[in-house]
Amino acid sequence: MPETGMINQIKELDPGTWQGYSLPCHYVSRHYYDVALVHTARGFIVTFTKKPFDTPFTRLPDGNDRLFQPWWEAARAWGLIENDRLVAVIETAAEEWSNRLRVTELWIAEAYRRRGLGTALMDIAMKRAREEKRRALMLETQSCNETAIAFYLACGFSLVGFDLCAYGNHDVAQREVRMELGILLEQNG
């Protein structure tokens, strides 16, 4: 059940104050999506099969997740601040060339998860996409981030693409394939 008091405290963040702020992204996964690509005479066959890790996969903060990176066009972010500390945030950026809105960051401190904040933040991104008449809301995740994938699917996202070598030349073997998820929005006119 969403904690309405906290959700009502989500505010847009000032880029001048928050640019470069490092998000301590951390997660543990017990499952991953095994990606197989087969090229046949008739075309390509791609499968994403959920499988268990032999031992849980842990992603530790690496300092790469930062707010208001200079390469994101028209980035905006909304967050919840408690006791002068950012505890939840979503950042979006316009993709003018494709008329899509991209969720570039979604982070919630572990102690604040499962309180409805993720859904409330995603609702903000969806509202921005609709107000700007974007044709899709997009995001990237990794095939090893089972909790995030489940959340995004519950929000209505679908798999719309993937990249077998986004992070390195051994992404499939390392079970960390870039997955592009999206929600296609109704176009007016």
CA angle 162, 165, 166 (to 5 degrees): 70
Amino acid at 175: R
Ranges of each domain in the chain: 4-25+66-184
Q: What is the fold of 4-25+66-184?
A: Aminopeptidase (3.40.630)
- Averaged pLDDT, groups of 10, the chain, 189 residues long: 74 96 95 97 97 95 92 95 95 96 97 94 98 97 97 98 96 96 81
Half-sphere exposure of 57 (CA within 13 A, CB side): 18
Q: What is the pLDDT of residue 189?
A: 45
In 83-177 the beta strands, taken as DSSP E runs, fall at: 85-95, 100-108, 136-142, 158-163
Q: What is the pLDDT of residue 1?
A: 44
- pTM of the predicted model, to two decimals? 0.92
Q: Please state, in angstroms and rounded to a whole number, the distance separating the CA atoms of residues 147 and 5.
A: 25
Do 136 and 183 meet the contact criterion of CB atoms below 8 Å apart? yes
Q: What is the pLDDT of residue 61?
A: 86
